[in-house]
Structure 1
């Protein structure tokens, strides 16, 4: 089975879009470029390539709200159909959606693809529209359920701590969508955090990054059964691009350093980490922070 991943460079994106056009637009005499729209930079792109790097199957996930999303532009090369590649791409996009906190997928599917989606647990909700005066589309929905693990209760406790003690986190509706001890992913309400340019407010970006880092330290303390007061000692953030869509913040354990065990000796502990803000597949901001954990006075 070939891996399903995001395109890595301009050449791969060219092949990704070329397959979209060949399958979804060319047969209806649509011009090159019609296979793309204004949401490409906010979306999550996945593709399967053969051993020569040629695109075999592609698909896109986009967020339509804090907890909703849709799948678009699913296409499989005619030479590769019948090999389960479409299912592989769709499954990868669904798993990604769950990690991002998306609870429901709602999108329009071509009538010819109806058996494919029904076979993978989607429900038909009736007629949507007809594309190019010829291709009938039906509305499809599917509820997504996040996997419960040993840390689910701890994650819920962290969210409650944020909302009870840091009012802005509740106003922003900061939520944890994924934690597996290797990566922490958070997101927030896109409407509340928009500025006058209809992009994410810089202060909200900084707050989401800071609390995601703070949350990582909180979770490590709980896992090691240690207690202490977490404070941000210093931080810097680089804003790489405006966030027009819905952002998520991530902390990866590979970008964390520090040792909390000094707390057991009654000394402060230090943890440095990087939190990245993503808009779609692209990094929109990078936060580097150092947190101290102070022993609680007895």
Structure 2
């Protein structure tokens, strides 16, 4: 049985890059290191492992915009090609993209892989480039459906509230990109939120994290048909690394304590919510917020 997942540790990440090099660079006499680029720390990396946790497939997704992403460095171990592993890998990368708010995925396919990608719904847009003077690539694009199409109306309502009452949220174009009752993800427009170092403003990171926690409380109220004013009582953030790519923020059931139950008795409901601000797979900031849903007084 094969599984697709994130590399667990540095040793697996080294194996991930080794397979990349062996499949995509070594046959053209390229040196070790040529299998990497400047976007590695901004990307989502996935491996396919067998029952013994041997890495037999690799692929990468990186966002190039709020709603646009690229797949690169797809490779399957020789001898296992044609067994559905490539399809498994693409499916996982598309799932990640959809949950990150991506609407369009682009990739450059070698001529011998065009049929494979077309069978998965990618449209050939014609010649892209030739690698090492020998390997021709075509540009291919696929439109991605939202991860949860039932979310759109609720998310639109919340975004409208934000944009009408918090001007900064509109300027940042903060969007709800995924929510399934267990995980919530948001994103924002990257270019507006860059500083002179081409990394994300600390204030923008804080705002994105704050509103992600706020959104969790909002959805909790909606689920119980409760109305309350949501306020941030206290917020703290730890910046771990510069955010040079495209950000998303996320929280989940395991990062939240509190419920709307006190509202049924006319009391305020309190939530403690941790929010991770991420760039690709990497968590670059951790926010902890205490929120209060203030009961409506009749």
Give the TM-score band, short-chain normalised: over 0.9
The equivalent residue for 1:12 is 12
Contact 2:49–2:57 (Cα < 8 Å) also in 1: yes
Q: Secondary structure at the match of 1:230?
A: strand
* Structure 2 unpaired stretches of 5+: none
Aligned to 1:22: 22
In the TM superposition, 1:287-298 aligns within 5 A as: 287-298=287-298
| Deviation of 1:297 (Å) | 2.8
Q: Which runs of 4+ in 1 moved over 6 A?
A: none
Q: How far apart in 1 are the matches of 2:223 and 2:151? A: 9
Partner of 1:126: 126
Q: Which runs of 5+ in 1 are unaligned?
A: none
1:86-235 alignment to 2 at 5 Å?
86-235=86-235
Number of the residue aligned with 2:36: 36
TM-score by length of 2: 0.98
Which range is displaced more, 204-213 or 228-237? 228-237
> What is the deviation of 1:96?
0.8
Q: What CA distance in whole angstroms lies between the structure 1 residues aligned with 2:234 and 2:6? A: 34
Q: What's the secondary structure of 1:63's corresponding residue?
A: strand
Aligned to 1:48: 48
SS in 1 for 2:233: strand
Q: Deviations over 1:34-91 (max 9, x none)?
A: 0000100000000011233321111000101111001000000002112110110011
C-alpha distance in 1 between matches for 2:66 and 2:121: 22
What is the CA–CA distance in structure 2 between the aligned matches of 1:120 and 1:175, rounded to whole Å? 28
The 1:67–1:151 alpha-carbon spacing in structure 2 relative to 1, beyond 3 Å, is closer
Once the two structures are TM-superposed, the CA of residue 150 in structure 1 deviates from its matched residue by 4.3
1:281 positional shift = 0.3
How far did residue 152 of structure 1 move?
3.2
Query: Residues of 2 paired with 1:60 and 1:259: CA distance?
Result: 38
CA deviation vs aligned residue, 1:76-128 (integer Å, no higher than 9, x gap):
00021121101100110011101100000122111111011011111101111
Query: Which region of structure 1 is more displaced relative to structure 2, 32-41 or 256-265?
Result: 256-265
